[in-house]
Each structure stands twice: as structure tokens, then as C-alpha cells.
Amino acid sequence: MTNDDDGGDRVSIVRGSDRVLVEERGPGVPEGIFGVDCMTCEATSPLFDDDPLPVAVWAIQHSQDQPEHTLFLARTERHWRVVPRPDPPAEPSTHRGGSVLGPAFVGLMCLLTALSGLLPALTY
């Protein structure tokens, strides 16, 4: 699903009755924000937009300075926004009747199939 209210495409994450949770996209909005936390101490890397490589370098350098610090919690963050639902929810139909054309076509095809089975018997 897309929403072009601000000129950018948005991917629907969760739809509610009148609101939609979407990924925020557009100029200046990073695809991902990367960071890691050392699980041995309180050290935390800086956050980097759109590139996990500086975070990996930070973790390796931290482990070189503290050889027993080898486990990290990696995070990727994204911006989300709740917006009004662009298309109203479909109203439940009160019309239970349906088109007659569908069942009539199926019935006609069944009749033609049955008659085609009788054609060899009629040729003798």
C-alpha cells in the first residue's frame, strides 16, 4: 500500500480502522539507524545512518581494547508514522443476492459437458 500525501511512497506496516502505521520515507529520512551495545559493560556505539560498517568497526575496536568484551547487541532503528487511512474501510454489504450470470454459466457448462458425453451414443 502506498500513500502519496507528501509525495513519497509509504509502506503500510499495520492498518487500523481509520489509521495506518507506515514507514516514514523521504528526503533526510534514513533507511536505517545502526548502533551496538556491549553486553559486558555499559559502552554504546554512536548511531550511524544508513551504514552498519562504522558500527562493526566500533565493536571490533572495543573488543581489541577489552578482549573479554565479545558480545554485542546490534540495533537497527527506523522512523514510523501513523497517518489517516487514505482509503475508507469497506462497508459490509447488505446485498446477499449476487449475479445470476455466474451460476447460470456454470449450469450451462455442466449441461454441455453432459450432452457431449451423449454424442458418441447418438452416432450409432
Tell me: pLDDT of 64 over 80: yes
Tell me: pLDDT of 111 over 50: yes
Report the domain count for the chain.
1
Instruction: Please tell me the predicted confidence (pLDDT) of residue 35.
Output: 96
Give counts: helices (H), strands (E), the chain.
2, 6
In a domain, 116, yes or no: no
In a domain, 62, yes or no: yes
Give the domain range for residue 67: 16-87
Instruction: Please tell me the predicted confidence (pLDDT) of residue 70.
Output: 96
Cell of 85: 487511512
CA-based R_g, the chain, Å: 30
In a domain, 39, yes or no: yes
In a domain, 67, yes or no: yes
Which is more confidently placed, 112 or 89?
112
**Other C-beta atoms within 10 Å of 80: how many?**
12
Longest dimension (CA), the chain: 97
Residue 44 in 3-state DSSP? strand
Q: What are the angstrom distances between the C-alpha of 124 and each of 61, 117, 121?
A: 92, 14, 6
In a domain, 54, yes or no: yes
Task: Measure the CA–CA gap between 6 and 28, rounded to whole angstroms.
Answer: 14
Global confidence as pTM: 0.55
Query: Which one, of 26, 62, 60, 33, lies nearest residue 49 by Cα?
Result: 33
Q: Worst-scoring range by mean pLDDT, 9-13, 53-57, 75-79?
A: 9-13
In a domain, 123, yes or no: no
Task: Measure the CA–CA gap between 47 and 68, rounded to whole angstroms.
Answer: 23
pLDDT class of 76 with cuts at 50, 70, 90: very high
Cell of 64: 581489541
